[in-house]
Amino acid sequence: MAKIAVYPGSFDPITNGHIDVIKRASKVFDHLIVAVLVNDSKKSLFSLEERLDILKHGIDNLDNVSFDSFSGLLVDYCKEKQLSAIVRGLRAISDFEYELQMAQMNRQLYDKTETVFFTTSEKYSYLSSSLVKEVAKFGGKIDGLVPDYAIMKMKEKLSRGE
């Protein structure tokens, strides 16, 4: 049976830290689904379609990676897709407490999917989508933090005042 995992997130936008986790997880699992969470209560810079577009342009040459979206509980998505694992990235100890609680709740709700943690590479340990958006909003340099395509899309969006 194939080991299929999901790497969920808002990816607004995807960062090079996310890409690092995706590349490493793709080596561990037979197939990895990068799934964008649709959360109407959260104000996103990019629409779902734009986030998926940026993901597809940011991740290339990984034949065992696909892209999807979901809303609601992650465990319901895992049940529907019969996934064996949830991939989560950890940047710092502060991430661990929250992620551990989520992993335990997910296991309580659906014990057929395990959470697997990947620590980010040191060079991306400070990086978050929120931080990238803040720096970009004020005209700061975000080269090397997100894929070039994401930079282009952010510049377009911010120049229109969105």
| Cα–Cα distance, 105 to 42 (Å, whole number) | 21
Task: Supply the pLDDT for residue 160.
Answer: 82
Of 10, 44, 84, 129, which one is the catalytic site residue?
A: 129
Task: Supply the pLDDT for residue 46.
Answer: 94
Task: Supply the pLDDT for residue 80.
Answer: 96
58 within 8 A of 14, measured Cβ to Cβ: yes
Annotation says 91 is catalytic: yes
- Residue 20: beta bridge partners? none
Of 91, 107, 128, 157, which one is the catalytic site residue?
A: 91
| Cα–Cα distance, 3 to 122 (Å, whole number) | 27
Task: Supply the pLDDT for residue 66.
Answer: 96
Annotation says 18 is catalytic: yes
| Cα–Cα distance, 64 to 88 (Å, whole number) | 18
Annotation says 129 is catalytic: yes
**Per-10-residue mean pLDDT for the chain, 162 residues long?**
93 95 97 93 89 92 94 96 96 88 96 95 91 93 95 90 72
Task: Supply the pLDDT for residue 159.
Answer: 84
Task: Supply the pLDDT for residue 42.
Answer: 78
Task: Supply the pLDDT for residue 6.
Answer: 98
Of 18, 88, 133, 153, which one is the catalytic site residue?
A: 18
| Cα–Cα distance, 66 to 48 (Å, whole number) | 15
Q: Which long-range contacts (CB under 8 A, 24 or more apart) does 133-140 make?
A: 133/12, 133/13, 133/45
- Domains of the chain and any CATH numbers: 4-159 (3.40.50.620)
Of 42, 43, 141, 160, which one is the catalytic site residue?
A: 42
* Amino acid found at 161: G
